[in-house]
Amino acid sequence: MKLPIVLILSLFSISNAMAQTVYLRAAKMVDVISGEVHESPAIIIEDQRIVEVGSSTSLEVPADARVIDLEGMTIMPGLMDMHTHLTSKATEHGYKGLAVSTPREAITGVKNARTTLFAGVTTVRNVGAGGFTDVALRNAVNDGDVIGPRIFASGPALGITGGHCDNNLLPNKYHVVGEGIADGPWAVRQKVRENIKYGANVIKFCATGGVLSKGTKVGVQQYTQEEMDAIVDEAHRRGVIVAAHAHGTSGIKAAIKAGVDSIEHASFMDKEAIKLAKKHGTYLSMDIYDTEYILSEGAKAGMLPESIEKERMTGKRQRQSFTASWKAGVKMVLGTDSAVYPHGDNAKQLSRMVRFGMTSMEALQAATIEGAKLLKQTDNMGSLRRGRYADIIAVKGDPIANIKTLENVDFVMKGGVVYKEP
């Protein structure tokens, strides 16, 4: 059996990167901290991390270093997607999802992790997975058993009985309840503790109804203020960041007041919600590409008719909220909700972020250094600086002039290991 050429290159690169100092040079480098583009960059990499950054004219090649010459290409930090579902598929929504077992989810995650990494996404925050399959996937990637991005995993998302994070597809006689369902302040504290016990290093809860759930209203708040306060307090005491799924205005405000680190979707932002997010330094993770995919492909993917109608009501308003929030100075990250659309298309979100208010540099910053800030990992990732992990991607052309170039990433390095090269 012949191995795919990309896999052959990956295996060769892994064995060599582990044993050698790497000297990487390119035509240009995007500096997401300064917001500048540098000519003729050179980077020296040892033991997964960047040890020196300079120009190819001034930074000498170390003796016995492996040289990677990305002539004519632009390098930048690997993308960071702060809202993914690696163990789910874009073709298995609604009742189709009932046929998917937990072991099958885990296997699906292995495929999607590789696809995501090869698309140039070197770090993800996975916010919601059954059976702690995302935790298992993260551990398998860390152990070198499978190929994938760095994963911050939430395990099952917390939600109220009958809410967006519950399983509402079957009638009463089946007594099906979502894994993360908990009602009341002490119950949600217990659920946070349980998730952390089983390996979650992110907590996600559903503050409002959602588009892709049965029988929930997108704008309706679900958890009470007291319950949200308890979730955030419990997670933060353990040093774990919290993401709140929140479309509706009242749920967004309550989650911000509770102290969440990020609001997911943030569809119905009003002036007060924008002011609160800015005051508290709350990040918004807004999946504004997804509306196109849901309205064009959702029915074929098994999405319920009510879900498609909810998206018609939500999509335009979410994009208006994105523009208003960005203009007001609210912090944002790249968050795509992968599995709503096919994995690997993460960068399609970037062109929508530009269309609805950002410059290309600002979109790249949201997809790199801002993600690192949200994860409290700026010493490790998000920029091409000394001491950071060598998570580097490259494209042909200029992503600042045309952000869509990032939809076709030609080179991917994670932790000094080359997984994809031209």
Beta strand extents in 266-381 (DSSP E only): 283-285, 332-333
Catalytic-role residue among 31, 337, 348, 420: 337
Q: Which helix (H) or strand (E) holds 54?
A: strand 49-55
Catalytic residue list contains 31: no
pTM comes to 0.95
Q: What are phi and psi of 52, to 5 degrees?
A: -160, 140
Neighbours of 90 (CB within 10 A): 21
Question: pLDDT value at position 292?
Answer: 93
Q: What is the pLDDT of residues 171-226, one digit of tens each?
A: 999 999 999 999 999 999 999 999 999 999 999 999 999 999 999 999 999 999 99
Summarised one tens digit per residue, pLDDT across range 306-316 is: 999 999 999 99
Q: Locate the DSSP E strands across 295-382.
A: 332-333
Domains recognised in the chain with CATH numbers: 5-77+381-420 (2.30.40.10), 79-346 (3.20.20.140)
- The reported pLDDT for the residue numbered 41 is 98
Among 28, 89, 191, 204, the active-site one is: 204
Q: How far is residue 227 CA from its own chain's centroid? A: 25
Neighbouring CB atoms inside 10 A of 181's CB total: 21
The angle at the Cα of 250, spanning 246 to 251, to the nearest 5 degrees, equals 30
Span 216-242, average pLDDT: 98
Ordered DSSP codes for 377-418:
-TTTSSS--TTSB--EEEEES-TTT-GGGGGS--EEEETTEE
Q: What is the pLDDT of residues 113-126, one digit of tens each?
A: 999 999 999 999 99
Query: Mind listing the pLDDT tens digit for each residue in 147-164?
Result: 999 999 999 999 999 999
Q: What is the pLDDT of residue 42?
A: 98
Q: Is the pLDDT of residue 391 over 50?
A: yes
Confidence check: pLDDT of 245 > 70 = yes
Question: Residues 148, 152, 156, 159: what is their CA dihedral angle, to the nearest 10 degrees?
Answer: -140
Smallest CA-to-CA distance from 24 within 78, 64, 61 is with: 61
How high is the pLDDT of residue 18? 52
Inform me whether the pLDDT recorded for 1 exceeds 70: no
Residue 365 has pLDDT above 50, yes or no: yes
What is the pLDDT confidence band of residue 289, given thresholds at 50, 70 and 90?
very high
**CA-to-CA distance for 399 and 349, rounded, in angstroms?**
14
Q: Is 145 exposed, middle or buried (0-12, 13-18, 19+ CB in 10 A)?
A: exposed
Residue 369 has phi, psi (to 5 degrees) of -65, -35
Q: What is the pLDDT of residue 298?
A: 93
In the structure, what pLDDT confidence band is assigned to residue 422 with cuts at 50, 70 and 90? confident
Closest CA to 233 of 292, 188, 271, 175: 188
pLDDT at 202: 98
Average pLDDT, the chain: 95
**Residue 420 annotated among the catalytic residues of the structure:** no
pLDDT tens string 2-44: 444 444 444 444 444 455 899 999 999 999 999 999 999 999 9
State the Rg of the chain over Cα.
Answer: 21
Q: What share of the chain has pLDDT > 70, as a percent?
A: 95
Using H for helix, E for strand and C for coil, what is the string for 220-243?
A: CECCCHHHHHHHHHHHHHCCCEEE
At 261 the pLDDT is 98
Q: What is the pLDDT of residue 3?
A: 41
Give the pLDDT band (50/70/90) at residue 343.
very high
**pLDDT class for 291, splitting at 50, 70, 90?**
very high
